[in-house]
Structure 1
Amino acid sequence: MKFFPIFLRTEGARIVVSGGGETALAKLRLLLKTEARIAVHAAEADPRILDWQQEGKLIWHPRPVSATDLDGARLVYAASDDAAEDARVAALAREAGVLFNIVDNRADSAFITPALVDRAPVVVAIGTEGAAPVLARRIKAGLEAWLPAGLGARVREADAFRPAAEALPKGRARRRFWDDAFAGLLDGMPGPAPQLAPLLETHKAAATAAGEVLFVGAGPGDPDDLTLRARRALDRADVVIHDRLVPAPILELARREAEIVEAGKTGFGPSTPQADINGLIVDRAARGLVVVRLKAGDPSVFGRLDEEIEACEAAGIAWSVVPGLTAASAAAASLGQSLTRRGRNSELRVLTGHDVKGLADHDWAALARPGAVAAIYMGKRAARFIQGRLMMHGAEAATPVSVVENAGRPEERILSATLGSLPAEIVAAGLTGPAVILLGLAPRAAARSVPALREVAR
């Protein structure tokens, strides 16, 4: 991010504009919407500038900008349509420590002005860092069509009511009140605005309600693979308790005010005890908070979901499950393969390479049959054990095996192997990320196009 977006206070501030032609006029039309004190410097000024001065909206100085004109200024616009003069004014501003913009010259400007959607006091700023102004205008047009004309009036009414709403406890109770206060506002305003005073009384009565827990599947790691329900859950969350495998781009989708807590578990490594995780979930929900327990993949696949649900039920806390895309499905998609196929396998087994007791045992005879397909989670360190058990029960060394590391993520890697070469291939590849072993499946040649398609989808 080369330009950091901020909303700068302009009430009573002085803004200096150098120039009196069309370029300056374009900026002045925008600046006149603020409560700033505007000074225009130009030897000659467009008649509209003179009209605005007559109306008391700005002051015109019929001379160039000098260094003393910038004392105490908040912003400077160099808009004279003269490159040399604009550079001179920019140099004065830089020397005075005042933010400056040279119109249509982002390379030399200290700040740039975004495209704006004005529904004051709601203002939406759209920036492309100057790289695509036409795109910014198209986004602006779309937002203007979406945001209703009455938005500003509703927000001003709500702002006046804000002191009364402080009777509600901070956090979730107030957010729910304001959610209801603005209900339907961005859906074409289908009905009359809710009356805020009666709505507040309703929310006061509900303010002491217990919290709730949402067990949410984060998918394999790409934010594009999140479900809409998962996104909405992150929008509501007061607390997000997440697995180690949930990446930062997904955590960034949570509300900025939400508490983010890692409750990580690492195979054959340090882990947060399950009892501690259960206690953390129950503690936060008992405070009346919305808790999102965010699990990589799908909560119901090797996520200890039952244990955490039972802790909630024992504490009398409401809960629900938001399913997610599991890593096995993402891995098969990247291979270009189906997990089941008529005439090949009529069942799919989802296994773990190790459990709480160590290396996990399974029905190896069934898995060793020709055509069997299995998705093996947490199997990298158990690869030699899995290979030995399968071949002991008759599996062919040539059985195709694929290992998909970081399935569905930009850094995904696909390792094509056979059962006979599997342990050596995993060691040679130096896999460090989470991986799914797909027994009985080899990558299709077309799978090479999957990363490109994923980029196009973004």
Structure 2
Amino acid sequence: MRTMDFLPIFMNIRGQRSLIVGGGEVAARKAALLLQAGAEINLVSPELLGNLKDMHAEGGIHFRQGTFEEGDLEGISLVIAATDDEAVNRRVSELARARRLPVNVVDNPDLCTFIFPSIIDRSPVQIAVSTGGSSPVLARLLRTRLEAAIPSAYGRLAAMVEQFRDEVKTRFSSVNARRKFWEEVLQGKIAELVFSGQDGAAEAELKRAVAEGIERDSGEVYLIGGGPGDPDLLTFRALRLMQQADVIVYDRLISKEVLELTRRDAHRIYVGKERDNHSVPQDQINQLLVDLAKEGKRVCRLKGGDPFVFGRGGEEIETLTANGVHFQVVPGITAALGSSSYAGIPLTHRDYSQAVVFVTGHLKDGSMNLNWKGLAQPNQTIVFYMGLKGLPVICEKLMEHGLPADLPIALVQQATTPRQRVFTGTLGDMPERIASEEVKPPTLIIVGNVVKLHDKLNWYRSELMIEKGEH
């Protein structure tokens, strides 16, 4: 079995004197960590640079100007050498070791008795990642991946748990009973309340659970915005809930790349929602969510874009509320923002547009009875969702209400995915331009002078695809 190069431990240095030798930016970073851990810092250097000057001015460190001397080690509990002089660093290490003081020499593991890991701070929860000094860059990359998987709310959850530890010990006499209780708390409704920012409700529920025991969760619905298609645009919270759901209810607007990030063994239910071909009517989808939750399932209702921007999320949570089903809503990047960004078309611009309005091109009764006069305003960008079928009517009505025939317009197909295509034209010629094209939904229509910037700014899309290895 391979031995460890370093023993992973957490050291309490609160109120203890630490010595830093060095006065540059590396020393400043180490000083900031020690201050965060509550240490008293003595620092020795010929001069102070950058942030160390501010720390000294604020009284955070005790500074002695000069070179390192053996007497600097008196009364010290921990030592850091952070100079650019290898001879000085080696001398600090040797003298500290002789006194059996823990010592770190930056970027030289051979001279260290301890090293600084890459830290994920969710205080009081802390996670340290280390490669034993062999590759700090790899440790940083691993930390970044873990950061994405561990919500910042875990710190608040841990602090709440700490408040109830003694009560739980009194309530449950055996270790196994306490373990089972905390597993239910940390993986169930109480934890989710904290993650969704409802700390007060979580604390009340935890207090009730300590007194009465935890009832088996009756199920929950996660109404998640899946964004416009690129999985990189999902929020951390969306990804976490997608990977813990028992059932995934999704429709045509969810890209295959996003769907692949859901839990592998979850049951997937496709509900269609194609234009003019709703394979499952909305009222049946609403009831399906209720029924699944009441079976005790954790249900991910995965919706394209944002659930509350033409996503009918409001209708779904009305039904959930009426049936007493607990739910969470996770916002997503709506199609207008994703499409405009990846197409190089800002929705507002000081020179072209001072307002933007989102409108659906398809009403509940199938009509397009819109406020055309309000839409046909100068210096305004109009974004039409679900407007592909009604494009000729959109162009005709906007011109009829005063917008010029040469006003630019763009149609973005399957935005933010490798299948994205952008068609540009004017109100006067756009229907004819796409008549011979095979345009595939979902699409978004952007009307306004900001479309003039597409050719100039569309480098972003091409650069992004090159970076991802897509062509």
TM-score range, shorter chain: 0.5 to 0.7
- In the TM superposition, residue 366 of structure 1 has moved relative to its aligned partner by 2.6
Q: Distance in 1 between matches of 2:344 and 2:142?
A: 41
- Residue identity opposite 2:357 in structure 1: R
Distance 1:343 1:262, change over 3 A: same
Match of 1:425 among 423, 433, 437: 433
- Residue identity opposite 2:456 in structure 1: A
**Do structure 1's residue 447 and structure 2's residue 455 form an aligned pair?**
no
- In the TM superposition, residue 369 of structure 1 has moved relative to its aligned partner by 2.6
1:21-63 Cα shifts (integer Å, max 9, x gaps): xxxxxxxx99xxxxxxxxxxxxxxxxxxxxxxxxxxxxxxxxx
Q: Which residue pairs with 1:387 in the alignment?
A: 395
Show structure 1 runs of 4+ deviating over 6 A.
137-141, 143-146
Distance 1:394 1:281, change over 3 A: same
Normalised TM-score (structure 1): 0.56
Q: Which residue pairs with 1:276 in the alignment?
A: 284
- Counterpart of 2:389 in 1: which secondary structure? coil
Q: Distance in 2 between matches of 1:279 and 1:202?
A: 33
**Superposition map of 1:202-281 within 5 A:** 205-206=213-214, 208-281=216-289
Q: Distance in 1 between matches of 2:279 and 2:348?
A: 34
- Residue identity opposite 1:338 in structure 2: P
Distance 1:384 1:211, change over 3 A: same
Q: Which residue pairs with 2:200 in the alignment?
A: none
- In the TM superposition, residue 341 of structure 1 has moved relative to its aligned partner by 2.6
Distance 1:139 1:283, change over 3 A: farther
Q: Distance in 2 between matches of 1:203 and 1:316?
A: 25
Normalised TM-score (structure 2): 0.55
The answer on whether the counterparts of 2:345 and 2:457 sit within 8 Å (CA) in structure 1 is no
- In the TM superposition, residue 349 of structure 1 has moved relative to its aligned partner by 1.0
- Residue identity opposite 2:402 in structure 1: G
- In the TM superposition, residue 244 of structure 1 has moved relative to its aligned partner by 1.3
1:251-300 Cα shifts (integer Å, max 9, x gaps): 12111221111112111224311111011100111122211110001111
Q: Distance in 2 between matches of 1:213 and 1:407?
A: 27
Q: Distance in 1 between matches of 2:214 and 2:435?
A: 57
Distance 1:346 1:138, change over 3 A: same
**Superposition map of 1:138-217 within 5 A:** 196-201=176-181, 205-206=213-214, 208-217=216-225
Distance 1:340 1:307, change over 3 A: same
- Counterpart of 1:385 in 2: which secondary structure? helix
Count of equivalent residues: 281
Distance 1:436 1:145, change over 3 A: closer
Q: Distance in 2 between matches of 1:247 and 1:345?
A: 31
Q: Which residue pairs with 1:353 in the alignment?
A: 361
- In the TM superposition, residue 359 of structure 1 has moved relative to its aligned partner by 2.8
1:198-241 Cα shifts (integer Å, max 9, x gaps): 22156674352221111101011111111111101112211111
1:406-433 Cα shifts (integer Å, max 9, x gaps): 1111110011110111211222222013
Distance 1:455 1:199, change over 3 A: farther
Q: Distance in 1 between matches of 2:257 and 2:383?
A: 26
- In the TM superposition, residue 390 of structure 1 has moved relative to its aligned partner by 1.0
Q: Distance in 1 between matches of 2:467 and 2:363?
A: 38
Q: Distance in 2 between matches of 1:236 and 1:140?
A: 30
- In the TM superposition, residue 368 of structure 1 has moved relative to its aligned partner by 2.1
Q: Distance in 2 between matches of 1:404 and 1:425?
A: 14
Q: Distance in 1 between matches of 2:460 and 2:349?
A: 22
The answer on whether the counterparts of 2:344 and 2:460 sit within 8 Å (CA) in structure 1 is no
- Counterpart of 1:214 in 2: which secondary structure? strand
The answer on whether the counterparts of 1:216 and 1:292 sit within 8 Å (CA) in structure 2 is yes
The answer on whether the counterparts of 1:366 and 1:372 sit within 8 Å (CA) in structure 2 is no
Q: Which residue pairs with 2:56 in the alignment?
A: none
Distance 1:455 1:234, change over 3 A: farther
Single out whichever of 302-311 and 364-373 deviates more from structure 2.
Answer: 364-373
The answer on whether the counterparts of 2:355 and 2:379 sit within 8 Å (CA) in structure 1 is no
Q: Distance in 1 between matches of 2:275 and 2:330?
A: 25
- In the TM superposition, residue 454 of structure 1 has moved relative to its aligned partner by 4.1
- Residue identity opposite 1:259 in structure 2: H
Distance 1:452 1:258, change over 3 A: same
- Counterpart of 1:384 in 2: which secondary structure? helix
Distance 1:400 1:207, change over 3 A: same
- Residue identity opposite 1:199 in structure 2: R
Distance 1:265 1:386, change over 3 A: same
- Counterpart of 1:282 in 2: which secondary structure? helix
Match of 1:405 among 405, 413, 419: 413
- Residue identity opposite 2:455 in structure 1: R
- In the TM superposition, residue 195 of structure 1 has moved relative to its aligned partner by 5.2
Q: Which residue pairs with 2:39 in the alignment?
A: none
- Counterpart of 1:358 in 2: which secondary structure? coil
Q: Distance in 1 between matches of 2:302 and 2:141?
A: 35
- Counterpart of 2:458 in 1: which secondary structure? helix
- In the TM superposition, residue 350 of structure 1 has moved relative to its aligned partner by 0.6
**Superposition map of 1:3-22 within 5 A:** none
Q: Which residue pairs with 1:319 in the alignment?
A: 327
Q: Distance in 2 between matches of 1:313 and 1:448?
A: 45
The answer on whether the counterparts of 1:380 and 1:426 sit within 8 Å (CA) in structure 2 is no
- Residue identity opposite 1:310 in structure 2: E
1:359-386 Cα shifts (integer Å, max 9, x gaps): 3222212322332211101111101111
- Counterpart of 2:268 in 1: which secondary structure? strand
Q: Which residue pairs with 2:443 in the alignment?
A: 435
- Residue identity opposite 1:216 in structure 2: I
- Counterpart of 1:293 in 2: which secondary structure? strand
**Superposition map of 1:295-334 within 5 A:** 295-334=303-342
- Residue identity opposite 2:374 in structure 1: A
- Residue identity opposite 2:322 in structure 1: A
**Do structure 1's residue 368 and structure 2's residue 348 form an aligned pair?**
no
Q: Distance in 2 between matches of 1:138 and 1:311?
A: 53
- Residue identity opposite 1:297 in structure 2: G
Q: Distance in 1 between matches of 2:135 and 2:175?
A: 35
Q: Specify every segment of 5 or more residues in structure 2 that has no aligned partner in the other structure, as ranges.
A: 3-133, 144-153, 159-173, 185-212
- Counterpart of 1:370 in 2: which secondary structure? coil
Q: Distance in 1 between matches of 2:142 and 2:413?
A: 43
Q: Specify every segment of 5 or more residues in structure 1 that has no aligned partner in the other structure, as ranges.
A: 1-28, 31-136, 147-179, 185-193
The answer on whether the counterparts of 2:414 and 2:440 sit within 8 Å (CA) in structure 1 is no
- Counterpart of 2:436 in 1: which secondary structure? helix
- In the TM superposition, residue 453 of structure 1 has moved relative to its aligned partner by 2.0
The answer on whether the counterparts of 2:387 and 2:444 sit within 8 Å (CA) in structure 1 is yes
